[in-house]
Amino acid sequence: MTDEKTFTEKVKDCIDEIRPQLQQDGGDCEFVSIEGKTVKIRFQGACKGCPGAAMTLKMGIERYMKEHIPELEAVVADI
């Protein structure tokens, strides 16, 4: 038996680590799905419709997740 986490478990763990920072500003995000090595998330609260959400997604969430999950290709917003 191995303690190695699955790709999905790694993704969900990263999202759980990121969420408190979004919640501090009145926003949030949730895991939607995985297609290949691309993760879909959905913004909620203040993040939903925020003009800075695209920057948060690519320069914040995606960058953080790629540092922790090297095989990850992209994080996209589910609209």
Residue 40 structural domain: 7-77
- Provide the domain count of the chain: 1
For 61-65, the CB contacts below 8 A with 24+ separation are 61/18, 61/29, 64/14, 64/17, 64/18, 65/11, 65/14, 65/15, 65/18, 65/39
Hey, which bits of the chain come out as E strands? 27-35, 38-45, 74-77
Confidence of residue 4 (pLDDT cuts 50, 70, 90): confident
Mean pLDDT of 26-43: 96
Instruction: Flag whether the pTM goes above 0.85.
Output: yes
What are the structure tokens assigned to 58, written together? 């690519």
Q: What does pLDDT average to over the chain?
A: 93
Instruction: Give the CATH number, domain containing residue 40.
Output: 3.30.300.130
